[in-house]
Structure 1
Amino acid sequence: MLTAQGSEIAASDQPPSLVEDYSYPGAAAILATDHVQLISGDGHIVYAPCPTGQDTVGVIQVKTTEAIGQTLNGRVCFKVLGTGGELTMKIPAVYSIRADGLSAGQGHKLKASLTTDAGVHSSVDVPSDGTTQVGVGADPNGDPTTLLELVATAP
């Protein structure tokens, strides 16, 4: 709508903002069905179905004692699109993080940021072809940990 002078446009006629907020697409639906809280990322780490069987190459696996994930079995998986990426989330009671490679030189190196219920923050490195135990997986008498962020880089 134009004003009397014809030089201004009404606020309701403005196009939506093009500023990206990096919120995870479909996060509300994933939280409702799979109980996985995905917050934001750069679009290069995406929530993915967990494979069955031994061949897990190409998929990051996070294991938790909670009934979450696509089959509510405590396994949550992600795929890295490209050479690296980052994803912010809240996955409680994590005890194991497995990178997406099966042998040396495959997959992505990971840096995982975690916190305990008491607010003790930590960061662990996960080799591109290995598994890192965290929380009660690293110390059965330790505090459960919540996974807050994954950052993937080329090996």
Structure 2
Amino acid sequence: MKLQRTSWRIVGAAMAAGAVAWLAIGASESTAGTGSVASVADESPGYAVEKYAYPQADKILAEKNIVLKRGDGHITLADCVTDTGQLEVWAHDKADKICFDVKGTSGWLTLEIPAVYGIRGNDYETQVDMTVGTEEKSFDVAKNTWTAVGASADEQGRDHMLVEIRSTK
């Protein structure tokens, strides 16, 4: 007798659960046409897409007249400090050198610095891309010494714009 009562309780509970499920399905179908139900995908956060834009680029342009576009964060504009292993860039229209810290095993930075004529390398293998008019030129920067680039390396002495720095350890 006790076993029969337990069996009936289990059957009754199962029927009640089925009825609740049936009502829930019926209720969701009746509101489907009203547009008040949103899919779960609409509520989930979107994908994070890194655009690699240089942080505070507008502020740097206003204060230092240097255009920093995009990078991976491993080559960053820095205050110049002697003997710290920075990349040093010299340009005709700048009163002083422009320095960059390089961190990690590799890095890249796109930028615009006009009239660049020399770069002092650091412990990294560094290549720079420059433009003069519609012409593009690449230069390998010697480690820990000065490399003539742009106007200094051009037979015609034309001003070149530095547009990309790439470094690897």
TM category (shorter chain) comes to 0.7 to 0.9
Give the gaps of 5 or more residues in structure 2.
Answer: 1-33
**Matches of 1:98 and 1:108, distance apart in 2:** 11
Q: For residue 7 of structure 1, what is the aligned residue in structure 2? A: 38
1:55-104 CA-to-partner distances (Å, cap 9, x unmatched) read 3341000000113xxxxx2411100111220000010000001112xxxx
* 2: CA distance, partners of 1:92 / 1:44: 22
User: What letter corresponds to residue 49 of structure 2 in structure 1?
Assistant: V
Give the Cα–Cα distance (whole angstroms) in 2 for the partners of residues 59 and 74 of structure 1.
Answer: 14
Is 1:61 aligned with 2:88? Answer: yes
Match of 1:21 among 33, 46, 51: 51
Match of 2:137 in 1: 122
Tell me the distance in 1 between the aligned counterparts of 2:96 and 2:155: 17
Question: Residue 50 of structure 1: CA displacement?
Answer: 1.1
Q: Secondary structure at the match of 1:22?
A: coil
Q: Structure 1 length as normaliser, TM-score? A: 0.78
Give per-residue Cα distances to partners, 1:122-150, cap 9 Å, x unaligned. 00101222221112222474210000100
- Matches of 1:90 and 1:125 in 2, distance apart? 18
Measured after TM superposition, the shift of residue 112 of structure 1 is: 0.4
Tell me the distance in 2 between the aligned counterparts of 1:139 and 1:120.
Answer: 12
Question: SS where residue 32 of structure 1 aligns?
Answer: helix
Percent same amino acid at aligned positions?
36
User: 2:84 aligned with 1:84, yes or no?
Assistant: no
Asked which structure has the greater CA Rg, the reply is 2
List 4+ stretches of structure 1 deviating above 4 A.
13-17
Q: Which runs of 5+ in 1 are unaligned?
A: 68-72, 101-106
The secondary structure found in structure 2 opposite 1:31 is helix
Greater RCO (CA < 8 Å, at least 6 residues apart):
1
In structure 1, what is the Cα distance between the partners aligned to 2:93 and 2:48?
A: 37
Is residue 63 of structure 2 the alignment partner of residue 47 of structure 1?
no
Richer in strand (by share): 1
Number of positions where the alignment pairs a residue of Structure 1 with one of Structure 2: 136
d(CA) in 1 for partners of 2:97, 2:155 = 19
Structure showing the higher helix proportion among its residues: 2
When structure 1 is superposed on structure 2, of 130-139 and 142-151 the one drifting more is 130-139
